[in-house]
Amino acid sequence: MRRKPKQQRSEQTVDKIKQAMREIVLEKSYAAATTNEIARRAGANISSLYFFFPNREAIAQAIFEETSLKIAQVTHRLVLQSLTKPLKEGMTDMVTEIINALDEEQAFLQKLIEQVPDLRETANALEQERLGRHVARLYIEHHLGKQDEEEIACKLFFVQHLSFDLMRRYVVERPDNISRDRFITELSSLVTSYLTAQGTPAVKKPQRAARRRS
């Protein structure tokens, strides 16, 4: 964003511009979301758009980061609320609420990432923040107790990336043979079973045989 709005009226203009781009991308495509079309849909002067955003890519970036932050905040809140619940119950609640949040935002995010290659790098950069790495670690340590650092790090990696990738895929693909309730139950059970399973013992590296002296 070129300039941050300081007055309420300016904030409303920025919100209308971002909402206009959302609508155009969802209804048509990113290619159709020209700055002129965005300004027209937002009911704003084109000069007002350029006052806040240098180009449409900056608008897309602002929306993407705002949406990612929203999902991260939902995840953070849910993890903290689930600390006092049994693992399976807390996991089910979290999956349900995160699916709800993704339902609202995923269609737009998916279209944006597919049609704006530059945002893919941003998506990767925001991944750890969006998944709430710190609170996810807190959640695992709280429910599993003191464990080896390597074991915690391993479980954290798989839970973060596997569970969120599956949730995103479900929201986008909507498989006919998997109901929403079935998906939530299966994923919650999968993650719970993985977290409570014993870690794989570390594989010892083979020692090299000592060379014989001639």
Note every long-range contact of 13-22, with CB atoms under 8 Å and residues 24 or more positions apart, other chains counting.
13/42, 13/44, 13/48, 13/52, 14/52, 16/42, 16/43, 16/44, 17/42, 17/44, 17/49, 17/52, 17/53, 17/59, 18/59, 18/62, 18/63, 18/66, 21/56, 21/59, 21/60, 21/63, 22/63, 22/108
DSSP character for 211? P
Reply yes or no on whether the pLDDT at 22 is more than 60.
yes
Span 116-175, pLDDT tens digits? 777 766 655 555 445 556 666 777 777 777 677 788 888 888 887 788 788 878 887 889
CATH number of 8-52: 1.10.10
CA 63 to chain centre: 13
Q: Could you please state the CATH topology (level 3) that the domain comprising 63-196 is classified under.
A: Tetracycline Repressor; domain 2 (1.10.357)
Q: Which residues contact 46 (CB under 8 A, 6 or more apart)?
A: 35, 36, 39
Q: What is the pLDDT of residue 90?
A: 84
Residue 6 predicted with pLDDT over 80: no
pLDDT score recorded for residue 179: 94
pTM as predicted:
0.63
CATH 1.10.357 domain locations along the chain: 63-196
On the question of pLDDT at 198 being above 80, the answer is: no
**Does 87 score more than 80 pLDDT?**
yes
Q: Work out the mean pLDDT of the chain and round it to a whole number.
A: 79
Over 70: is that where the pLDDT of 195 sits?
Answer: yes
- Give the model confidence (pLDDT) of 34-65 as tens digits: 999 999 999 999 999 999 999 999 999 888 88
Mean pLDDT value across residues 13-22 = 94
Can you tell me the mean pLDDT for 18-35?
92
pLDDT at residue 183 tops 70: yes
pLDDT at 7 (0 to 100): 66
Residue ranges, comma separated, of all CATH 1.10.10 domains in the chain are 8-52
Model confidence band, residue 71 (pLDDT cutoffs 50, 70, 90)? confident
The secondary structure of 25-67 as a DSSP string is HHHT-STT--HHHHHHHHT--HHHHHHH-SSHHHHHHHHHHHH
Rounded to an integer, the average pLDDT of 101-124 is 71
